[in-house]
Every structure is written in C-alpha cells, then in structure tokens.
Structure 1
Amino acid sequence: MPSNPHHRTVEAEQYRRLYRTAAWQRLRLAQLRSQPLCERCLCDDVVEVATVVHHRIAHKGDEHLFWDPENLESVCAPHHDTLIQREEARGYTIGSDINGRPVDPAHPWNRS
C-alpha cells in the first residue's frame, strides 16, 4: 500500500498548501465567473459547466505560474480527471488536426 494515500509526490505535498488559501479560493471563483463553461468541451461544441480551475502550465510550486490568471483554464471534472491527467503524465496535449496529425509539437510524432 502506498505511504501517500492521495498518490501525491513529496514535491506536490510542499505546494498543496497554496490550494488551501483564501487567495486561491478568490482567484478560482473569479476564473469560474469569467469562464463558467468547460473550455475543453467548448472546443468540441459541447456546453458543459466548469467546476475545476486547471493550470495550463503545471506550476510545480512556481508561485508566479500558480497565481498567474493567464495560466488558468476552466474545465469540467471529467476532462480534468481523465484527459488532462493523461496529458500531464505523457508530457503533451492529446488531440489531432483534421488530417489526423497530432497538434502538439511535443508529441512524439512531431519530434525530429
């Protein structure tokens, strides 16, 4: 059984405190008010209420990235808990253009 019941790294535990601050709650609420719909669903012409505020670029404790409103994305829980988690684990955005080519330059297909 893992020693960490939430499967978070020791590094992540060091910055989890940021999510428990009143300042984060205000920033999160402001993001959801300014963009109440899931940005990922909207790309597929689906209207879904956003319930999670996601950092576009993983902050990994970098407070500048953590507090930057331009680094925030409103998403629904299913997108955050599945697609986005897979993308973060892989290191590139999942998705392709109309020709089937991966859109993210970091995708292995696009690497030279």
Structure 2
Amino acid sequence: MGVERDRSRQRDETLPWRKWIKTARWQKLRWFVLVRDLFTCQKCKRIETDTSQLVADHKTPHRGDERLFWDDENLQCLCKPCHDVVKQAEEQASVHQRGVWY
C-alpha cells in the first residue's frame, strides 16, 4: 500500500499535469463527459450507474498538452475495466513503439 502511495506521489511531483485531475475544473469536465455519454462505456457499451466506476478517458493521450487535456471532444466515458485493461494495454504498446514514456 505504501509503495503505491509513494509511486503516486512521485508521479505527482514529476508530471505537473497530474495536479489538473484534482481540480474542480476537471471534476466539472469529467461530469460533463459522463452525462454526455449517458454513463455508457464507449468501448464495451455497458451502462454504469456507479460513477466511481467510470473514467473520463483521453482518446488521444495528452502527454501534458493542456489543449488536449481540457478538450471535451478528446474525452470519452470508459468503465474502469476497459480503461484499466484495454486502454492501458494500448498505451503500453505505444510506449514500446516510441521507446519512451512522456
């Protein structure tokens, strides 16, 4: 548990954009996306009533680009399983192609 907390703290310090997720602006944008997409995962099409199990996911990874981060057209509603498994696998594949993570 402490290891994950330390990793999260380190990412917060090295990736300034992570602070944006903790803002009221992000919470408002996230809610807008969930409502717009009717609480429906855009990958598996499951409707999820527990909003803690939904993610406002960036279609195109922003990698710190504010324009992409805040663009509601670049966001989609995903359920946590699709985000945590499918989307993360896609991003990891991208890292291997580029050879870097940024």
TM over 0.5, shorter chain: yes
Largest Rg, 1 or 2: 1
Match of 1:82 in 2: 85
* TM-score of the superposed pair, with normalisation by structure 1: 0.67
* TM-score of the superposed pair, with normalisation by structure 2: 0.73
Q: How does 1:1-112 map to 2 (within 5 A)?
A: 4-6=6-8, 8=11, 11-12=14-15, 14-35=16-37, 36-42=39-45, 47-49=46-48, 51-91=54-94
Unaligned runs of 5+ in 2: 98-102
RMSD over aligned Cα, in angstroms?
A: 2.5
Considering fraction of residues, name the structure with more helix.
Answer: 2
Which gives a bigger RCO, structure 1 or 2 (Cα 8 Å, sep 6+)?
A: 2
Residue identity over aligned pairs, in percent, reads 36
2: CA distance, partners of 1:65 / 1:22: 18
